[in-house]
Amino acid sequence: MRLATWNVNSIRTRVERVTDWLARADVDVLAMQETKCTDAQFPALAFEALGYEIAHVGYNQWNGVAIASRVGLDEVSIGFDGQPGFGKDGAAPEAEARALGATCNGVRVWSLYVPNGRSLDDPHLEYKLEWLAALRDTASGWLAQDPEQPIALVGDWNIVPRDDDVWDISAFVGKTHVSPPERAAFEAFNDAGFADVVRPFTPGPGVYTYWDYTQLAFQKRRGMRIDFILGSPALASRVAAAEIVKDERRPRKGTTAPSDHAPVVVDLE
């Protein structure tokens, strides 16, 4: 089974690039983030034409997560237990479209779009840390209930776990993504039993999954590793190969602009 995750940065804008890659890459399950559309706007027919079932949650033009599977799509869950919401300007917190789970050929896949954090003094950072803590606690409960369950927590984590996961750590002093609380929140998943199953096959430094659109960041190799597949012990033991498909970040003539993220793929035995 080939499992992938990709922050597509607007599925309606990039549906042809995504489905073209799916056909070429022979992917069985694709988790997507930042679809930026409602459920009614999601271009499901393009995926169904390739034999994929679709689960999606999107409430407006922000956020949005999806799972496309050609090996089964069962037990779909919108959000996880305890998932916090975010309230703007003192309003009551509302759930955002950031987490979607489904069982695909026996593997429990969660497509996750972790809040950005924005800045160290922004309320969104507190929300991000609360969101991650809630996910960790819930995921720990899943493993406690069934230690042999293959679980994949995949998506855009908006965290740089190590200094060499970014092109120049000095450029991020006093900024989010690299702060000690965020890194500790990410490491807590490893402590809970979830391993980064891609890094052993894609060691750094200089191995990234995201490059900003501005200032020729991709051409200058100014990237960040922020997209991950974290696996439970039962899933990690099945990983035979993994890759970051950097070529899908490259512009191509005759197609829409690429996402600012690259797909991340694992092959499961």
CB 114 within 8 A of CB 128: yes
For residue 155, the one-letter residue type is G
Active site residue 156: yes
Owner of token pair 């200094």 = 163
Annotated binding site for Mg(2+): 7, 34, 156, 158, 260-261
Question: 28, 127, 156, 208: which is the annotated catalytic residue?
Answer: 156
Strand partners, 239: 268
Query: What tokens were used for 192?
Result: 């809970």
For residue 9, the one-letter residue type is N
Question: 28, 208, 210, 261: which is the annotated catalytic residue?
Answer: 261
Annotated binding site: 7, 34, 156, 158, 260-261
Question: 113, 127, 208, 210: which is the annotated catalytic residue?
Answer: 113
Q: Please list, residue by residue across 31-54, b when 16 or more beta carbons sit within 10 angstroms of its beta carbon and e when fewer do.
A: bbbbbbbebebbbbebbeeeebbb
For residue 181, the one-letter residue type is P
Catalytic residues, by residue number, are 113, 156, 261
